[in-house]
Amino acid sequence: MKEKITTPKKVKAPAGVGLLGTFDLIGMAFSIFKKRWKTLIMIQIIPAVLALIFGVLSVFMNSGEARGEELSPLLGLGVLVLVIPVIFLGIWSSYAMMLAVINHKQEKGWKDFYRESIHLFWGLLGITILVTLITFGGFLLLIVPGFIFAVWYGYATWIYAEKGKGSGLINAIRESKRIVKGYFWSIVWRNLVFGVLAGIAIMIVAGILGLIGLAFGGIFGQSEVVVTLINDIFGLPIQVIVAPVSMLFAYLLFSNVRDLKNKGIDKKPLERWVKILVPIIIVVVLIVPGMLSLVAVKALNVARMKSRDATRTQELNQIKIILDIYQGQNGIYPDDLTELNILLPVRNMSDPLTGELYNYQALEGSSGFKVCAELEVIEQEGEYCIESGDDT
């Protein structure tokens, strides 16, 4: 005789029992972080540093400081060698972080969570890929289904990480939808509020660190590599703190919903104004960050253009000095910039963006010269030239 399976009977939440508020969850997340910050930060720091090195090398490869052919193959090989470890460690660290968050009451070190998470790596990666494909497919169907799928199946990785391989990929996905059902908008609302608060905090801190970074950039130089390195170094504290706190918040919300669901406690119905307001806020939150991102990208591009323009003007002044030295030794100016390669590397006579030699013209009889570069910044856009006889 088969045993009859019954589901928990739904009851209304008694006074004082129910889904925790956003600020309660944030407070709990920070409380856990303060107790376990060493372990949580150590899990993040290794892949973060590797990613920093990879980012700087990538910028260096594309900058005017690595245009010499003798550097490119070596740097290219270094970047390629780093790609796979950076991606693998980034994914692995996120799974190790999940186990550290789930088992935050256990006195284990960061190495323990890395060791334990490797056994679940492929299962968690499989769920991540599967949920991503489902969500992406939903977004292709007029966006709304993708948003729904993202919320329904967002807890599948947490379920698999908690229960282990025995839970199965498909079962974890189904269980996620079961847990979310009835709490959909409550989960969305809490994640939305947390995301807005975290975004504001990040922008404030990033702005302060950015100003400090600019100050250091003024001290150490304005090359693309230096600017990128300084920005990445000052951005590192944000990354290693925000990621653990965000994951703690996500897990605490998940475990709260799961416990209520398993006890058969039904949530209180949302007020009508919340049901109307939340979708509107979601639209705003999707649009505003997009606009801010565009502004940030534009500002970053302008900063990079200014950096390249500064490099161009510095190199042209340097070329003029070398040309005068050449003229002093030979009595005439060279017909072509390549004749200076003994005195000056080719990479310092080439445009930092295109890699082409600067526009050089020897005057009649090689008695003078004119060397020009194309500037990018709107206020200065056009040719910047230095001629023989000009003061540097």
The pLDDT tens digits for 198-210 are 888 877 776 776 6
Which of 70-74, 238-242, 321-325 is the least confident region?
Answer: 70-74
Q: Is 21 left (phi over 0), alpha (psi -120 to 50) or beta?
A: beta
Tens of pLDDT, residue by residue over 294-342, are: 777 777 778 788 888 888 888 888 888 888 888 888 888 888 888 887 7
Q: Which residue has the tokens 């006074």?
A: 15
pLDDT average, residue stretch 126-151: 89
| pLDDT value at residue 7 | 46
Tens of pLDDT, residue by residue over 5-36, are: 344 444 444 444 578 999 999 999 999 999 99
Q: What is the chain's mean pLDDT, rounded?
A: 78
Of residues 144 and 122, more confidence is placed in 122
Cα 224 from Cα 184, distance rounded (Å) = 45
Which of 123-127, 146-150, 358-362, 377-381 is the least confident region?
Answer: 377-381
With a cut of 70, say whether residue 1 has pLDDT above it.
Answer: no
Of residues 120 and 49, more confidence is placed in 120
| pLDDT value at residue 317 | 87
| pLDDT value at residue 5 | 38
Which of 90-99, 134-143, 170-179 is the least confident region?
Answer: 134-143
With a cut of 50, say whether residue 67 has pLDDT above it.
Answer: no
234 close to 209: Cβ distance less than 8 angstroms: yes
Q: How large a percentage of the chain has pLDDT more than 90?
A: 29
With a cut of 80, say whether residue 183 has pLDDT above it.
Answer: yes
With a cut of 80, say whether residue 93 has pLDDT above it.
Answer: yes
Residue 39 tokens read as 């372990």
| pLDDT value at residue 74 | 57
Model-level pTM?
0.64
pLDDT average, residue stretch 50-54: 75
122 close to 151: Cβ distance less than 8 angstroms: no
pLDDT average, residue stretch 222-242: 67
Q: How large a percentage of the chain has pLDDT more than 70?
A: 71
- Number of other CB atoms surrounding residue 285 within 10 Å: 14
| pLDDT value at residue 16 | 46
Residue 93 tokens read as 């660290």
Q: How confident is the model at residue 252 (pLDDT cuts 50, 70, 90)?
A: very high
CA angle 197, 203, 206 (to 5 degrees): 135
Cα 21 from Cα 42, distance rounded (Å) = 29
